[in-house]
Amino acid sequence: MMMMPNPRGKNLKPAAGGGSAMENQEDVAHNKRSPSSPQGAPKKRSAFVDITNANKALISNPAKKTAVKKTGKSSTLAVKNESNIKKSDSVILGGQAEKVKVGKAPVEERVESPNKQPSQEQQSSVPNEFDIDREHSGDCFMTSEYAKEIFDYLKRREEKFLLRDYMQKQPDLNQDMRGILVDWMVEVQENFELNHETLYLAVKLTDHYLSSTVAMRESLQLIGSTSMLIASKFEERCPPCIDDFLYICDDAYKREELISMEVNILQALNFDINIPVAYRFLRRYARCVQADMETLTLARYVCELSLMELEMVPERASCLASACLLLALIMKELGGWTRSLQYHAGYTVSDLSPLVRKLYSMLALPADDKLKAVRNKYSHKVFFEVAKTPLPTVQALEGALK
């Protein structure tokens, strides 16, 4: 039996207003965490104090404290600096040494600042009808100049992290045990108010470790909680500490065991944990059709529910995100796959149809009383109660896929 964490005073209510307020509420709520421990007693996390230099005395440099007395003559340091400047009358441009006088370099010979924004010619050419980043061109935090290349790079990295059904290599585990573990991890993410990316990455880490290492059922929860710890360190601004994860496991494991498992998981992945997850692609592709928050949340629900399905493990994250969004558009009767989606995702309707049918069958199955964390989560008003969205008929689904 896995001990589920107690809610940490989390009261999420729908924001008054519209979709934008709801979007901020959902995203911000999962970014902010209570400073208190699961036990309820407010306390600072000593782990982060050790990392920073907040409690360290500032080491003074005696040389800097000595005031330089101004005299009529230049100081020795100033003379040396001036001498060094005069000597630097040659710079290497393009691999060739060219004589350039300091302060008199022609405009065409000056080196451009590396922080300068690329020009329109330097940016990747995206047709205007498919340019979904143009509205954020003035926002430096959105990196609109490189967004397309970033997600193209993530799609290429997917080839490195492809998995197969590994359960046949696990003599002591089965598909139901993995589903219970992921269901528990969903509750951990919700109660600790972690980012959704943290949950997706933790499930990926768990699958990759189990695909390469034989594990016993007694250590399955340890693997899941350690994967959440690693993912939190990668994704969160303020990740939970080891004591938090020991607590949610009902102190079934010791600190040394969790640290040892952390080393094992990182070594199994060669310390390369930047695994592309479906949640990132889903948010990107939803912008192609300017999906409202309710439609995006419905796609998130389908995507998060698929985490518990072992048959979805081999699917590429970008393909899974595309299929979830397409099914959400069909369920909301908002049309099908657009040209913009095909351009950015790289998939056609025929590519996604088999996976969409699998996701439809997954939603049509009766709810399992043992695995209800995702359905309960998305039945809340904060998430627009999208778990209660009626499914279209099979005929309507097939008609949309054609």
Q: pLDDT: is 105 or 381 the higher one?
A: 381
pTM for this one? Answer: 0.71
Residue identified by tokens 């969205």 is 389
CB neighbours of residue 4 within 10 Å: 14
Residue 402 has pLDDT above 70, yes or no: yes
Residue 112 has pLDDT above 90, yes or no: no
What digits encode the pLDDT tens for the residues 174-230?
999 999 999 999 999 999 999 999 999 999 999 999 999 999 999 999 999 999 999
State whether 290 and 392 are in the same domain: yes
- Classify residue 203: in a domain, yes or no: yes
What digits encode the pLDDT tens for the residues 286-315?
999 999 999 999 999 999 999 999 999 999
pLDDT confidence band for 2 (50 / 70 / 90): low
Residue at which a domain ends, from 239, 268, 297: 268
CB-CB contact of 316 with 160 (8 Å): no
The phi and psi torsions of 92 (rounded to 5 degrees) equal -100, 120
As a whole number, the mean pLDDT across the chain is 78
Helix, coil or strand: residue 302: helix
- Look at residue 145 in the predicted model and tell me its pLDDT: 82
State whether 247 and 312 are in the same domain: no
Average pLDDT value for residue range 349-364: 97
- Classify residue 307: in a domain, yes or no: yes
Residue 41 has pLDDT above 80, yes or no: no
What digits encode the pLDDT tens for the residues 274-290?
999 999 999 999 999 99
CB-CB contact of 215 with 240 (8 Å): no
- Look at residue 3 in the predicted model and tell me its pLDDT: 53
The parent domain of residue 241 ranges over: 162-268
Residue 93 has pLDDT above 70, yes or no: no
H or E segment and range at residue 210: helix 196-212
CATH number at residue 296: 1.10.472.10
What is the rounded CA–CA span in Å between residue 220 and residue 140?
Answer: 42
- Classify residue 262: in a domain, yes or no: yes
- Look at residue 370 in the predicted model and tell me its pLDDT: 86
What is the rounded CA–CA span in Å between residue 304 and residue 186?
Answer: 9
State whether 285 and 352 are in the same domain: yes
Residue at which a domain ends, from 268, 287, 305: 268
- Classify residue 350: in a domain, yes or no: yes
Residue 116 has pLDDT above 80, yes or no: no
With a pLDDT cut of 90, the percent of the chain lying above it is 61
- Classify residue 242: in a domain, yes or no: yes
Residue at which a domain ends, from 209, 244, 268: 268
- Classify residue 198: in a domain, yes or no: yes
